[in-house]
A and B are shown apart, each in its own frame.
Chain A
């Protein structure tokens, strides 16, 4: 997993509320048992005029220059609600999105972002509105700079917005550690707990 501390990028405002994971990647675009090869299906119903021809819909923001090169998505509340499919995050990541800015997220989607190196930034709707206006003026020039060390998004020479993120999520994004490996190192305390847990609740044994 790619770790990051700070970066600047083109931001695409896709201001809609309740964008669900079915919209981010429709189920029919998940064609193989794989975490890769999913970016073509990203926002497929909105991005293409027809799913068969794959002809791009010129009205959809991510098909327009310079948003085609966006690495930040600015969006509405409850982004990523619905299905738990991690494919939504894999598709966003493969397409090139590294950070999302929204007032709120679907909770499973939020965790999936952290696990895959996408920074889900929570910001007030009003901040997002003014940020969007600024971007729209000149998206190529008016890039956003995300600084995860300082918990900041800056979007002009003057405006700096701070955001809150859980310490562990932040460390995880910065260091890109393998959580399974880390937890496996705690195997002895897990085993100790497990033995007692099953002894106290003998009815838990499924075999």
Chain B
């Protein structure tokens, strides 16, 4: 019997069996950010436990830092600068690779990581952040951990972990024009629930996945955690290899050796998964969430379900609560729902291809009156690239604010927010209650849908408002 991609990487990193299904797993690379990395480093310092291999550790500032031009350590979030300064103080004098606020390579941890070749195929990789699963897109065995596990990994380069169950998701068919990997993952979560992949690591396979560019694969894997999965992974291929060639932390003289290893790294034909889901993308249309959990998502052309259609009592109550929070009615259409704001950014959709796809729609257009629209590039590199291509001018002349890179308004930490009851169409990953601010109503969608909706002033599919891609 063959092995899956996940098992191959797992087994290659298993130091020993600890009994009861637990194994001691070697961790190759660790990435930290100021929000949760600061506490892990501080805690180890207080215990006087050294970091085992600081040169395998990376850190960036993304979560709390402001995104206004000319920003510094001081943040709109009260006490935000404590997190920034604490992380900076902890990494000072160590061999940790640090991307400080003014570093040209600073940015959102999961955007910087592939961009710099820090996440690589076949390695184990952790970060105290739930969206670490994004990096599975490169064939990296990457998952999010809490602070205590992060401390363990920093101190020992290992984690004690039980192998999760394995799920195969076959993504076949032909992806229609204007439909993105964001729509695929929202479709999956809406069909199978926010805990649909609970206790499983997912491998995304199939012709559609093979055809996706690396950045779109990152979006797909990014939301594996919203599907309840331990992580997501995609086998490395030629696209992965050419994407990584020449990146700052990619192998240099050993690149050919690595390349050879990576190109062999895939699930065997006869490998067995615990569960398989197959989807045909040919009929998927752009999705948007209507509720307060990513599973409460529908195609833009559909209506919000009726409460009576939901059988489970708890799910029904969750739906009633979500409708009330979102200020929506059961059975109403979501298309043309008036919005107050539009946000393009976050580790889900803030890479150069995301910005390009939004800019294509925004070119020579203006956003609707009374809409607040913000674009936050995922990294300083993405921002620079976008400016070189003139995308910033397109965003700005359309009426978007153009920001410095960071996590920004993906979540509200006490700094910037869209405001109470404001309806925001957003390229982010979580539409939880109060996630983007007190009583802020979040609708998750792809960058194209967000751009089209910003122009229309209401939730709109790019195609339906006559914008051809």
Contact = CB atoms under 8 A, between A and B. Distances in A.
Interface residues of B, number: 84
User: Which of the four size classes fits the interface of chain A?
Assistant: 35 or more
A164 interface: no
A76 B162 CA distance: 24
A179 B195 contact: no
Contact of A28 (B18, B129, B230, B413): B413
Contacts of A157: none
B79 A203 contact: no
B434 interface: yes
A190 B433 contact: no
B411 interface: yes
B155 to A, nearest CB: 5
Nearest to B197: A107
A107 B38 contact: no
A115 B146 contact: yes
Given A35-B39, A78-B228, A83-B130, A89 B315 contact: no
B298 to A, nearest CB: 17
Given A23-B432, A82-B130, A166 B24 contact: no
B261 A201 contact: yes
B438 interface: yes
Contacts of B26: 190, 193-194, 197
Contacts of A83: 129-130, 411, 430
Contacts of A30: 35, 413
B421 interface: no
Interface in B16-61: 16, 18-22, 24, 26, 28-29, 35-36, 38-39, 42-43, 47, 49, 55-56
Contact of B254 (A82, A189, A203): A203
A180 B146 contact: no
Interface string A195-207: 0010001111111
A82 B82 contact: no
Contacts of A81: 194-195, 226, 228
Interface of A: 15-18, 20, 22-23, 26-28, 30-35, 45, 51, 76-78, 81-86, 89, 104, 106-108, 111-112, 115-116, 125, 166-168, 179-180, 183-184, 186-187, 189-190, 193-194, 197, 201-207
Interface of B: 13, 15-16, 18-22, 24, 26, 28-29, 35-36, 38-39, 42-43, 47, 49, 55-56, 77-79, 82-83, 86, 95, 97, 118, 120, 122-123, 128-130, 144-149, 151-152, 155-158, 160, 162, 164, 194-195, 198-199, 225-226, 228, 230, 249, 251, 254-255, 257-258, 261, 293, 295, 314-315, 317-318, 321, 411-414, 430, 432-435, 438
- Which 5 pairs between the two chains have the least Cβ-Cβ distance? A203-B251, A28-B414, A203-B254, A86-B146, A203-B258
